Amino acid sequence: MEQRVALVTGGSRGIGFAVARQFLDEGLSVAITDVSERGLAEAREKLSSEANRTHLTNASVANRPAMEKVVSDVVARWGRLDVLVNNAALNRPGGVFTQTDSDWNAIVEVNLTGAFIATSVAAAAMRAGGAGGSIVNIGSIGANGFGAAPAYAASKAGLIGLTRQAAVELGPLGITVNLVAPGVTTTEWVEKNLGQARIDASAASAPLRRAGTPEDVASVVCYLASPGARHVTGQVVSVSGGVWMP
């Protein structure tokens, strides 16, 4: 995978950062976008030794001009874009009776519309490069009704549809599109918002009897983005310890 270039959205922390870190370990150059300046600053410090192979910038996936600039800057710097990981996501609590319309709109805008914008912009660069590419979407087992907020579940279910449609449309260009669906994964956000008791309960109910780590997810993402997965597209891969078997 040496000399290849990846873009990871929402990549300053958690699963996104683990993916970026593994891409770097495997020889790729990596661009990271995020809307958190603090997160970007922390990631920049952690990756200071890789400054020549990283590009970190503040950009919202829901802002098409911003994402067009990100991709343009990446191609200008490294001459190509081979991989997109649509990791940026938003979640807010609520239920059918309590989730507000504004929260619904905000979540869908980032999780689904943002993934569409990033996909269309990145795929255009891959098409122009002529060497194909890989797009990996980060979904969730919440798409199958595992207690997620309605907007989050709907956005992640919609992402499965986007994955499959894009796989069909982009396949003739040599671009694969797949989705990884993590279960409960021990990111900072999960530890803060779910708490250890819920994490432990989830682990106890999983066939593998453990919660996932960001690195567990990153390993699968990196495989799907690798030349070894060139004949894999349109797939939903559950990384949940067996909680969801699609």
Q: Which residues are catalytic?
A: 152
- The single-letter code of the amino acid at 185 is T
Q: Which amino acid is at 195?
A: G
Cα distances from 67 to residues 19, 28, 35, in angstroms, run 19, 20, 12
Return the bridge partners of 6, or none: 30, 83
- Which residue type, as a one-letter code, is found at position 244? W
Cα–Cα distance, 12 to 88 (Å, whole number): 10
Torsions phi, psi of 84, nearest 5?
-125, 130
Task: Tell me the helix, strand and coil percentages in the chain, rounded to 5.
Answer: 55, 15, 30
186-206 burial code (b ≥16 CB/10 A, e <16): bbeebeeebeeeebeebbeeb
SS3 at position 176: strand
- Please check whether residue 182 is in contact with residue 87, taking contact to mean a CB–CB distance below 8 angstroms: no
Which of 219, 210, 199, 204 minimizes the C-alpha distance to 241? 210
